[in-house]
Structure 1
Amino acid sequence: MNQNNHTTHAKHGLTSTNLRKETIKHTLRCLLGCNIGEVTGMILGFHYNWDFISTLILAVSLAFATGYAFTIIPMLKTLSLKQAARVAIVGDTASIASMEFAENTAAFLIPGFIGAHLFGPIFWIGLAIILPVGFLASYPIMYWAMKKEVQKGKKPSCH
């Protein structure tokens, strides 16, 4: 790491190691929020016997909504709702999109996962596979966004 980067990070008490740890924390929060929304959408779609495409649209839409909410809610301590929503949309859209793309691609590749019953073992085995895939897809984007905020002289609390 060059001296200039180290100095910028030091403004907020963030070393490269601390920034990686913060990124892990924020990526996990995003993963949790997105997947709560996605699983809720899947449950609703299956419950109402919706076709696969309608269920997928609902699940991904709820993933974005809950992912944004998991970012916005903690920021309301220091920002207005409008400011927090703007930061979440600008900061999290690429991260959530990459997570959703990776998870859904992996889900399509797992035999029997699409259409698996919520209480069936293939659903939980598949979930154990796709969650790390989503994390690994999202982490580099989240790290880049947070590092960019630090380089601008801001504390990366927006993710």
Structure 2
Amino acid sequence: MHDHTVHARQHGDSTPQRVSWAMAAQATLHCLTGCAIGEVLGMVIGTSLGLHDVATVALAIALAFVFGYALTMRSVLRAGVPFRAALRVALAADTVSILVMEIVDNAVMLGVPGAMEAGIGGVLFWASLAFALAVAFVVTLPINRALMSRGRGHAVVHALH
């Protein structure tokens, strides 16, 4: 998708835009990076402190949103967008993607027997976490592509490049 197609969509053009799988994958990987930083950090902290699974998942989700939004805001702020506007762009671009990733990867982590109890020194913990993030990517990719084709999600960020 080129800048002019995104801008046309934002200015009332209701024609769906063509978004390649590669472009959607790039956006999904960007989102996954922020999610993974927060998710891994939350899981490591919660597991290391011996928190209950619910508290660990809540911490991981909160940190995934913080890091996901922060990575997007970093690039948007570098494009010269003021902080409040950058925050609105990050919320518009990432909320659905992060939400889907967090639902999927935490469901996988909770669904793998013993993964949450394995501890950060256990292969099961890390293998389950890596698998959970990979599944989250696969599930979120077509959702991001659909959002982008409608001028939403990461298409909002691409308009600033």
Q: Provide TM-score, normalisation by structure 2.
A: 0.78
Q: C-alpha separation between the residues in 2 aligned to 1:134 and 1:143? A: 14
Please give the residue correspondences for 1:33-112 in structure 2 after superposition, counting only pairs within 5 Å. 33-78=34-79, 79-112=81-114
Partner of 2:23: 22
Residue 97 of structure 2 contacts residue 140 of structure 2 at CA under 8 Å; is this kept in 1?
yes
1:131 aligns with 2:142: no
Q: C-alpha separation between the residues in 1 aligned to 2:97 and 2:157? A: 18
Q: Deviations over 1:3-34 (max 9, x none)?
A: xxxxx869459x94x63222211111111111
**Runs of 4+ with deviation above 4 angstroms:** none
Partner of 2:122: 120
Q: State the Cα distance separating 1:136 from its structure 2 match.
A: 1.5
Residue 103 of structure 1 contacts residue 134 of structure 1 at CA under 8 Å; is this kept in 2?
yes
Do the aligned partners of residues 84 and 123 (structure 1) sit closer, same or farther apart at CA in structure 2, a change above 3 Å counting? same
Q: C-alpha separation between the residues in 2 aligned to 1:125 and 1:155? A: 32
Q: C-alpha separation between the residues in 1 aligned to 2:123 and 2:157? A: 42
Residue 72 of structure 1 contacts residue 84 of structure 1 at CA under 8 Å; is this kept in 2?
yes
Partner of 1:5: none
1:143 aligns with 2:155: no
Q: State the Cα distance separating 1:156 from its structure 2 match.
A: 2.8
Q: C-alpha separation between the residues in 2 aligned to 1:119 and 1:48? A: 13
Task: State the identity as a percent.
Answer: 34
Residue 149 of structure 1 contacts residue 156 of structure 1 at CA under 8 Å; is this kept in 2?
no
Do the aligned partners of residues 154 and 111 (structure 1) sit closer, same or farther apart at CA in structure 2, a change above 3 Å counting? closer
Any idea what SS the aligned residue of 2:28 has?
Answer: helix
Do the aligned partners of residues 122 and 55 (structure 1) sit closer, same or farther apart at CA in structure 2, a change above 3 Å counting? same
Q: State the Cα distance separating 1:116 from its structure 2 match.
A: 1.8
Q: C-alpha separation between the residues in 2 aligned to 1:75 and 1:10? A: 15
Q: C-alpha separation between the residues in 2 aligned to 1:10 and 1:81? A: 22
CA RMSD after TM alignment: 2.6
